Homo-oligomer: A and B are copies of this chain.
Amino acid sequence: MPKVVDHDARREELIAATWRTIRRLGLAGTTTREIAKEAGYAHGLLAYYFPDKDAILDAALERAYVAAREQLTARISDRSGLDAVREVLLTALPVGDAAIETQVLVMAWGTMVTSESRRARRYATFREWRDTVRLLVRIAAAVGEMTGEQEPEEIAEALVALVDGLTLHWVMNPAEYPASRLIATVDGALDRYRPHHPSSGT
C-alpha cells in the first residue's frame, strides 16, 4: 500500500480549484494547466482523478447542483405556505454568495445546446427544483394563501421562469439588479398570486 491519500477529498480539492479557475478565467479560458496550478499540484496529477477535462467540468457543475439542492432543503425546512414558496424562489436568486456561483452556472447554460449529457443533467436539476416549487404552490393554494384560479403547475412554471429570467438580467448588468430589486420583483409577482388579490373588496 503506497502513500495514504483520501481519494475523494483530493477530488473535492481539485473541483474547488476548478470552480475558482472558472470564476477567474471564464469557462473558455479555463485550462487543465490552470486548474492544476490553482490547486497547487502538477499538471499531470489531474489524470489520476479524472479521465479527461470534461469530467472535471462536469464534476464541478455537479457539485454546484448538489450544493444548490442542499441549500434549498435547508431554507424551506421550517417554512410553509406562501412563505415557503417565497423562500425557495429567493434561494435561487443571484444574491450574496450565490451570485458568484450564478456566474459560473450561466456560463454553463450555453453548453447545454451541444452537450446532450450536460443538458440532461441540468434539466434534471431544474426539474427537481421546479417540482419542489409546484408542490409548495399546491400546498399554499390548499391552505388558501395562494389563488386557486390557476393550475399550480402553471404558476410554478411562471415563478421559476421569472427567477431564471431575473438571473439572466442580473448577469447582463449586475449593478442595475441589486438584491433588493430582485427580491422586490419576486414579491411583486407573488402578490399577483394571492387569493382575491387586488382589493378583495368589502
Please tell me if the beta carbons of A172 and B113 are within 8 angstroms of each other in the complex. Answer: no
Q: Does A81 contact B (CB under 8 A)?
A: no
Query: When chains A and B are docked, how far (Å) is the Cα of A168 from the Cα of B201?
Result: 38
User: A161-202: which have CB < 8 Å to B?
Assistant: 161-166, 168-169, 171-173, 184-185, 188-189, 191-193, 195-202
User: A76-120: which have CB < 8 Å to B?
Assistant: 103-104, 106-115, 119
Please tell me if the beta carbons of A196 and B193 are within 8 angstroms of each other in the complex. Answer: no
Please tell me if the beta carbons of B114 and A28 are within 8 angstroms of each other in the complex. Answer: yes
**Interface of chain A, helix or strand or loop or mixed?**
helix
Asked whether A123 and B172 contact (CB < 8 A) given A192-B192, A197-B198, the answer is yes
Q: Does A122 contact B (CB under 8 A)?
A: yes
Asked whether A164 and B168 contact (CB < 8 A) given A110-B106, A111-B28, A114-B29, the answer is yes
For residue A103, give the distance in angstroms from its CB to the closest CB of chain B.
5
Give the interface segment out of A7-15, A65-73, A150-158: A150-158
A interface residues (Cβ-Cβ under 8 A, vs B): 23, 25-29, 103-104, 106-115, 119, 122-123, 126, 147, 149-150, 154-155, 157-158, 160-166, 168-169, 171-173, 184-185, 188-189, 191-193, 195-202
Q: Which residues of B contact A104 (CB under 8 A)?
A: 113
For residue A194, give the distance in angstroms from its CB to the closest CB of chain B.
9
Query: When chains A and B are docked, how far (Å) is the Cα of A130 from the Cα of B65?
Result: 30
Please tell me if the beta carbons of B161 and A185 are within 8 angstroms of each other in the complex. Answer: yes
Asked whether A26 and B111 contact (CB < 8 A) given A119-B172, A172-B123, A172-B126, the answer is yes
